[in-house]
Structure 1
Amino acid sequence: MTAFEPQGIRSYSQEEVQQILHLAIARQAADPDREFSYKELLEIAAELEIPPDSLQLAERDWLVQQSEVQQRQVFNAYRRGRFKKRVGKYVIINAFLMLVDLMAGGGLAWSLYILLFSGLSSGLDAWNTFQTKGEEYETAFQNWHRKHQIKKTINTVVNKWFRAFQM
C-alpha cells in the first residue's frame, strides 16, 4: 500500500491494524501516568466492535501474562543474588589463596592457576545467570517456579494448622 492511495481502497491485515492502533494510542498519551477505567476500556472495545466477553478473555490472558512476567523478574533477581553471593565467595577464597602464596614463596605461582580455573567457572556461571532465553533457562525457571509454589502451599497449610490450634 502506498501513502497516496485513496482512503476507500486501503486495507490492512489484523497485525497491521494492531500496530497502527498501538502507535496511535502511544502518541495520544501525552501523560504517561494517565490510566483508563474499565468503563473506558469497554467503550473503546465497543467502538472497535469487540464483544465484552472477548474483552474479558483478553484481559484474563493479559493478567496471566503479567503474573508470569513478574514471576520471571523475581526469578531473575533470585539468580542475580545467588550469583553475587558466589562471586563474593570466589573473591574471598582466591584472595586468601593468593595471600598464602605470597607469604609462602615470595610471589604468586600456584595461586594464579587456581584463580584462572575458578575464574573460568565463575565466567560460565555468569553466562548461565544472565542468559534469559533458551531451553536451560526455561527448565531452571520451571523448577524454581514449582519449588516456589510448593513452599507457598506448605506455608498456607501450616498457617491454617497453627490458626486452628490457637483457637
Structure 2
Amino acid sequence: MTASEPQIVRSYSQEDIQQILQLAIARQADDPDKEFSYQELLEIAAELEISVETLRLAENDWLVQQSDVQQRRVFDTYRRGKFKKRAGNYAIINGFLILVDLMAGGGLAWSLYTLLFSGSAVGLDAWNTFQSKGEDYETAYQKWRRKHQIKKTINSVVSKWFKALQI
C-alpha cells in the first residue's frame, strides 16, 4: 500500500464482531476438542478490553444457559420415553383387538375403526412429544421442571432429616 492510497475505514456492529470472532476462533482451532483455560479466557477478555467483572457475569449467564439446555435434554428424553411406552401400549392393545376381530368374524371389521381412532390419538401424541418449540412445549417443560424441583427439594429435606435422626 502506498502513501497516496486512502485507507478504507471499516466499522462493525457488536453482533458482527461477535460472529467474526466466533468464526475466527472456530477456524483457528485445529482440534475441535481443544479447551482453553480460564487464564486464557481472561487474557482474551483483557485484549478485547472486557472487564473481569463483565466476564464473570457473562460466564454466570452462560452457566445458567448450559444448565437450562441440559435440563431440556433430560426433559426431551423423559417425554420420548413416555411416548415409547404409550406407543407400545397402543400396539399391544390394537394387536389384541385385531386378533379378536380376526378370530370372531374371519376378517377385519370393527377393529379397523379402533385402529384408526387410536392411531390418530397416537399421531397427535407423537406430534406433541416431538414438537420442541412453541407455547405448549414451554408450558409442559415448566410444569415438569417445577415438579422435578419439588421432588429434589423434598428428597433433600428428607435426607437431611434422616441424617439428623442418625446422629
Q: TM-score, normalising length from structure 2?
A: 0.95
Is residue 52 from structure 1 mapped to residue 47 from structure 2 by the alignment? Answer: no
Alignment correspondent of 2:64 = 64
User: Which segments of 5 or more consecutive residues in structure 1 lack a partner in the other structure?
Assistant: 1-5
Q: Measured at CA, do residues 58 and 18 of structure 1 come closer, stay the same or move farther in structure 2, by a change above 3 Å?
A: same
Look up the match of 1:131. Answer: 131
> How much does 1:31 deviate?
0.6
Partners in 1 of 2:139 and 2:128 — Cα distance?
12
Cα deviation code 1:82-134 (max 9, x no counterpart):
00000000000000000000000000100000000000000000000000111
Q: Distance in 1 between matches of 2:107 and 2:7?
A: 80
Task: Output the amino acid matched with 1:159.
Answer: S
CA distance in 2, matches of 1:32, 1:158: 44
SS in 1 for 2:85: helix
Provide closer, same or farther for how the CA distance between residues 36 and 19 of structure 1 changes in structure 2, counting only shifts above 3 A: same
User: What is aligned with 2:160?
Assistant: 160
TM superposition shift of 1:54: 0.1
- Residue type of the alignment partner of 1:57: L
Structure 2 equivalent of residue 10 of structure 1: 10
Percent sequence identity over matched residues?
77
Which residue in the other structure is 2:3 paired with?
none
Q: C-alpha displacement at 1:7, in angstroms?
A: 5.8
Q: TM-score, normalised by structure 1?
A: 0.95
Show the counterpart of 2:145: 145
Secondary structure (helix, strand or coil) at the match of 1:34 reads coil
> Which runs of 4 or more aligned residues in structure 1 lie more than 2 Å from their structure 2 counterparts after TM superposition?
none
The change in CA–CA distance for 1:85 and 1:22 in structure 2 (over 3 A counts) is same
Q: What is the root-mean-square deviation in Å for CA atoms of aligned residues? A: 0.9
Residue 36 of structure 1 deviates from its aligned partner by 0.5
Partner secondary structure for residue 53 of structure 1: helix
Partner of residue 114, structure 1: 114
The 3 A distance-change label for structure 1 pair 64 and 25 is same
